[in-house]
Structure 1
Amino acid sequence: MATFSAVTRQHILQAIAEYDTRGPEDFLGVYGFEPSPEYALVHEGRRYDSKAVLGVAHRYATGRIALSDEFHGGMHAAATVLRKRGFEVDEPRSTPGAAPRPAAGTARRAATATRAVRKPAVPERVAPICPTCSTTLPGTGICDYCG
């Protein structure tokens, strides 16, 4: 089971850059992910497969890709991790057999009235990355592998 505590915003941005470079079909094919458009990661006006991007970001963080079956909680869990890192994730419009959603403002007002006020998110410190091998640099700022 993969944990995503080591995955930072920078790792996710690296995965998004690779997604842009390879294109969706190649990116999903190389890492063995099936397309899953129901929870789309939205970054700078473009839509990305959230589970695949998070799985590859896990690879940038730990050196090991998080495969589709390692996501505890499925797509919703992947969306939660991405949101905690400051990204926007679209929810599915509707699920077959699910009850229709209430009017847009009704549910939001009801939820806001019963929920405590949340503190704004503290920006995550971006870890320095080695420009040669893309590993996170230690406190010395000198890559252990490249020197």
Structure 2
Amino acid sequence: MSGQSTRRTVLKGAALAGAAGLGVAACSTDSNLGHAQNPVPTAPVELGAPSEVPVGTAKLFREQRVLVHCPAEGQYKAFSAQCTHAGCLLDKIEKNEGNCPCHGSRFDVTTGKALQGPATVPLPEVPVRVENGKLIAGPKA
């Protein structure tokens, strides 16, 4: 029995070490995005053409860590694409829900609201606008 107990202890320790490694990776620093506690752009970030987000859809701009929803022609709403549970980057959007691959949290891409845990805090809203034919996230320069 002590062999099983020791094995379980080792496996639990390995799982915790792996989770700790994920947390460190998820909280990496980016000069425009801050860190997991402030995952919104702190400087203007170019996303792409407004036509990339048709009315009624949302698009995940993974590299810039922003998701953008277009509720009506010429209107855009943006949120951080970092999960509010552990800071992992959302990986896809399905049926107006953003998915976190780390622990299964899901978010409403139209409101940022956490729909499925472990996340309970909504995604932070990010200012977004169209300038010179491009979607720009973050504060004005």
- Length-normalised TM-score, structure 2: 0.23
Which structure has greater helix proportion?
Answer: 1
- Length-normalised TM-score, structure 1: 0.23
